[in-house]
Structure 1
Amino acid sequence: MSDIQTDYPQLQLEENIPLSDEEIQKVETDQRKITQVAPAILGGCTLFVMALSAFFIKDDFSKFKYYDYILFAGAGLVLLGFAYLMYLLVTRYDRRNWKKDKISGKNKLSSIVIDSDTTEYGEYLTFAGPAKNKKIRLLVTQEDYSRYKTGTKVVVTYLKYSKSVISISEL
């Protein structure tokens, strides 16, 4: 982390700003896209695993009885059910946080980029908070990550609970 001179009185954080109808529709549309595609992806992955396991035991298929085929198909259904259950738990958690964001709204921060880092989950920018030694780390798009370097003064609008950026612009 580099040493950046931060003028804390100039940093501002506006909290609990209501979301506009366009922002609500955008987030809900993004959630629906994932919801429509996920069952097909899970089914395809299950079929791939079943085909791979069938390939490895192809010599033993001639020794199978009728109940072995039923067990093999049942194992595939159990695998699909487990993956679908995990998918439902993740989407339920995401929707619960989305409801919190919908109720509490968004925050608007006028700040300075003090750090940037990449993880396996995405690119993050860290901003100076309104209080000394307070930092706010937010998930940003790859374009924003490469555009805003350390020391850039920006205005960031983000969802409070999910810590994802709605918009970011340079001052």
Structure 2
Amino acid sequence: MEKIVVDYSQVHLQENISLHEEEINNIASQKKDFFKNVPASLLVALIMLVLVACYFLQNDFKNFKYYHYILFISLVVALYAFFYALIWLIYQYFLRNWKKDIENGKNQLTSIVTSRHKTENDEYIMTFAGRNKHEKIRLPAEREDYHRYEAGTKVVVTYLKYSKVILSIHKLDT
């Protein structure tokens, strides 16, 4: 792997550019759609978990008393509440980031792609040179953008700082 030489005088970062109405509406639709299928999906997963538990306990049901059933149902409700609370906490994290992005706007970076890598979860990460030697900006990219821009390509990237979302990316004509 060859080392990319970066001319830091060519790297420019514009911060706090106000968002367009379309971008604000996109964030609002993400907020609305986040919890859309959560209760049903969680319920289906717990029903499947209960069915597996019932399968393994099928021979022991004849020895169960009424308090065993109450305990079993209480455990299922507690698991549902626990996982729902976890998802709610994740939603609060994203909500805070979306709020910060709406308040602070977007950033536009004119930079060079210094490296790219694919994670084991099939996420595509692109690293851009920052304003100085020690600053690197890592953003998740779409698959098409990841394959389109090789390391060393000079690009203009518009992204949301807190949500780490690339809004647009295009090659800079030199």
Please state whether the residue corresponding to 1:2 is helix, strand or coil: coil
Answer yes or no: is the 8 Å Cα contact 2:139–2:164 preserved in 1: yes
Any gaps of 5 or more consecutive residues in structure 1? none
Higher helix share: 1
- 1:134-164: CA deviations, max 9, x gaps? 2111111222222221111111011111222
1:163 equivalent in structure 2: 164
Query: What amino acid is the match of 1:91?
Result: Y
Inter-partner Cα distance in structure 2 for 1:52 and 1:130: 55
**Superposition map of 1:21-60 within 5 A:** 21-60=21-60
Any gaps of 5 or more consecutive residues in structure 2? none
Please state whether the residue corresponding to 2:164 is helix, strand or coil: coil
1:70 equivalent in structure 2: 70
Answer yes or no: is the 8 Å Cα contact 1:127–1:135 preserved in 2: yes
Inter-partner Cα distance in structure 1 for 2:23 and 2:29: 10
Higher mean C-alpha deviation, range 116-125 or range 156-165: 116-125
Answer yes or no: is the 8 Å Cα contact 1:46–1:76 preserved in 2: yes
The question of 1:99 aligning with 2:99 is answered: yes
Inter-partner Cα distance in structure 2 for 1:78 and 1:141: 38
Answer yes or no: is the 8 Å Cα contact 1:2–1:114 preserved in 2: no
Query: Percent same amino acid at aligned positions?
Result: 44
After TM superposition, give the deviation of residue 3 of structure 1 in Å. Answer: 1.2
Please state whether the residue corresponding to 2:134 is helix, strand or coil: coil
After TM superposition, give the deviation of residue 57 of structure 1 in Å. Answer: 0.7
1:86 equivalent in structure 2: 86
TM-score by length of 2: 0.91
TM-score by length of 1: 0.93
Inter-partner Cα distance in structure 1 for 2:2 and 2:88: 42
Inter-partner Cα distance in structure 2 for 1:121 and 1:14: 30
Inter-partner Cα distance in structure 1 for 2:74 and 2:133: 58
After TM superposition, give the deviation of residue 121 of structure 1 in Å. Answer: 7.5
After TM superposition, give the deviation of residue 97 of structure 1 in Å. Answer: 1.2
Question: How many residues are paired up?
Answer: 171
Inter-partner Cα distance in structure 2 for 1:19 and 1:48: 43
The question of 1:146 aligning with 2:147 is answered: yes
- 1:40-81: CA deviations, max 9, x gaps? 111111111111111111111111122211211111111100
CA RMSD, Structure 1 to Structure 2 (Å): 1.5
